[in-house]
Structure 1
Amino acid sequence: MRRADETWKVWITSCDTDAALGRTGASRCGLTVNAEGPSPIGTERRRTVGQGQGCISQGGRVPTTKELVCLANSRKRNGRCIAGIDIQSNLWVRPVSSRPGHEVSEAERRYRNGAEPRILDVVSVRLFRPKRFGFQTENWILDPGSQWEKRGRVGWDDLRRLEQRPKHLWVNSEDSTRKGLNDRVAVEQEFALLNSLKLIRVNAVTVEVDRPYDANRDLEVRAKFRHAGATYILKVTDAVYEERFRALGVGSYELSESFLTVSLGEEFKGHFYKMVAAIIERRTTERTTEPGSDG
């Protein structure tokens, strides 16, 4: 187990930030972070990317730029759901559009070179303001006129420092779907919901691919795992893993130790549904981060 004063590192390829990564690290003008030991965030010098650029949004608002560790790029009707942890505040941020479905379009999320944000990218995103939707307290309205930029990557050890350890994933009850387990929360229990995103670590995951009730629809992909003494079977909306396991066909597939981003969606027919928005396998995750930027 690491001591609090041990060094940990992450590549950030920007010279515009000097912010806290989690609670112990800080980026240093494109160099490897080498912050030793915890330091009070309030005592650190901070600079927001884009500060001083004089950018004014519609309605006269000055946008803010946040650098997020991308921890979800999941399927959503008409677009994607993108979410990550802000390296300065260590809080979840979900950029959303001002459209009724709040989805992020392809044009809004792609980098300058046309690439798609990947899980574990450090992404610079310009945002207008926080926009809470019920218990989805993490939502921020994105600036549709700005382009996202990749500033670097993080690795498995960095995820360990971002790991959350909730006692349960919101509310567990016997009110599950036919194929799921602990996979939804009734609207009557909304009072108990305070947020909608979790990053958890599990020892193993079973990916289950099954035929839908409607034969005209794509194969369904679910993740079965245990966390904090409870078993869950949740739909997978991670666009990469969903496509990968659909291609393998109906069956069960075992994964070893992984991080999961679990999201709680908006109300649908009287329930809020839990989803696995990202699967991050330890065996395929780089132990060290990459210094390059393609954004």
Structure 2
Amino acid sequence: MSPLTSIICLANSWKHGDRCIAGINPETGRWIRPISDLEDGRIPRSMRLLEGKEPQLLDIIQIPLGKTGNDFGFESENLSVLPGRWKKQGQVTTKEVLRYCSSEPYILHNYKKFVTVPELARKPFALRKTLQLVHVTEFFVEKKQRETGTNQYKATIVSRNGQRLSRLGITDPLFVKKLDQGNEPIVPCLVTVSLSMPHRPPNWEGDDPCWKLIAAVMELETNDYDDQDELLDLPF
């Protein structure tokens, strides 16, 4: 039987027709991104379902994971999924994950909407971070209708530390569903920002960019953040 590793699910986002699952190990406080053996590591439905249901944000999930995984040359959080069933162990509240919000000055390494692969590859392996939990105090959404009739959204966020990122793609399916229903973002909130696989837009000049994405949005209740200063900010 493969060993099980627990994560607090902080992303179940779209990735090339399947999903990217990611979360924080409550024992170590470190991010983990389970990856399959598919070319980009995406997690198919048959692998990720918990008794027939999608993993939900803030679920504590036990996953059979190896000790290493394909880092694709720039990601530090990846661990390979081993054979075996995924199990739901429990659930936490948004208040309980506030302590994992980053206190770093930048959202994922810089002030830009992207990080290049060489920029990440030059860092020591442990510092090649491609996931970050952000306490967001301002959140604006732009809506555009595609030719297919579906909506496309771009997000602008401002972190509690004052960094602003504009027009980020949104890959959180449940949040997009809420936007389609006419709901607006509620702030403050917690946002998981992730980096995409390398993608060069038309006429792009320079190194391959990985784009910052809104992978998950978690609403906060007023009493969740009133005493945030009493919580521990961990250095990651």
Q: TM-score range by the shorter chain?
A: 0.7 to 0.9
Aligned equivalent of 2:62, options 113, 124, 144: 124
Distance 1:217 1:135, change over 3 A: farther
Structure 1: distance between partners of 2:135 and 2:187: 11
The reply to whether residue 218 of structure 1 matches residue 150 of structure 2 is: yes
State how far apart, in whole Å, the 2-side matches of 1:284 and 1:64 are.
Answer: 38
Q: In the alignment, does 2:94 pair up with 1:161?
A: no
AA aligned opposite 1:204: E
Q: Which residue of 2 aligns with 1:74?
A: 13
**Residue 168 of structure 1 aligns to which amino acid in structure 2?**
Y
Say whether the 8 Å CA contact 1:130–1:138 is kept in structure 2: no
* 1:255 counterpart residue number: 186
- The TM-score normalised by the length of structure 2 is 0.81
Root-mean-square deviation (CA), in Å?
2.4
> Kindly, what percent of the aligned residue pairs are identical?
27
State whether structure 2 residue 165 is matched by structure 1 residue 194. Answer: no
Residue 205 and residue 246 in structure 1: after superposition, are their counterparts in 2 closer, same or farther (change >3 A)? same
Partner of 1:239: 173
TM-superposed CA distance for 1:202, in Å, is: 1.4
Asked whether the equivalents of residues 156 and 285 of structure 1 are also in contact (C-alpha less than 8 Å), the reply is no
1:11-37 CA distances to partner (integer Å, 9 max, x unpaired)? xxxxxxxxxxxxxxxxxxxxxxxxxxx
Distance 1:247 1:91 in 2: 34
2:233 paired residue number: none
Secondary structure class of the residue paired with 2:20:
strand
Give, as a single letter, the amino acid of the residue that structure 2 aligns with 1:207: V
Partner Cα distance (2:91, 2:7) in 1: 10
Give the drift of 1:207. Answer: 2.6
Provide structure 1 residue ranges, at least 5 long, that are not aligned to the other structure. 1-54, 56-62, 174-181, 288-295
Deviations 1:187-223 (A, max 9, x none): 45333572100011112322322234xx237321222
AA paired with 2:165? Answer: Y
Q: Given that residues 198 and 262 in structure 1 are in contact (C-alpha distance below 8 angstroms), is that contact kept between their aligned partners in structure 2? A: yes
> Greater RCO between the two (CA within 8 Å, min separation 6)?
2
Q: More displaced, 85-94 or 277-286? A: 277-286
By how many angstroms is 1:165 displaced? 1.6
Quote the offset at 1:229 in angstroms: 2.6
The CA deviation at 1:285 is 10
Deviation at 1:171, TM superposition (A): 4.2
Distance 2:222 2:145 in 1: 28
Q: Which runs of 5+ in 2 are unaligned?
A: 201-207, 226-236
On the 8 A contact 1:209/1:245 being kept in 2, the answer is no
Over 3 Å counting, the alpha-carbon distance change for 1:136 and 1:188 in structure 2 is closer
Question: Quick one: structure 1 residues 218 and 166, their matched pair in 2 at CA, closer, same or farther if it must change by over 3 Å?
Answer: farther
- Please tell me whether Structure 1 or Structure 2 has the larger radius of gyration of its CA atoms: 1
User: What is the aligned residue count?
Assistant: 211
* Partner residue, 1:86: 25
Q: Return the TM-score normalized by structure 1.
A: 0.66
SS at the partner of 1:203?
Answer: strand
For residue 266 of structure 1, give the secondary structure of its aligned residue in structure 2.
coil
Matched residue, 1:229: 162
| Deviation string, structure 1 residues 152-207 (Cα, Å, up to 9, x no partner) | 1111221122221221023445xxxxxxxx32234453335721000111123223
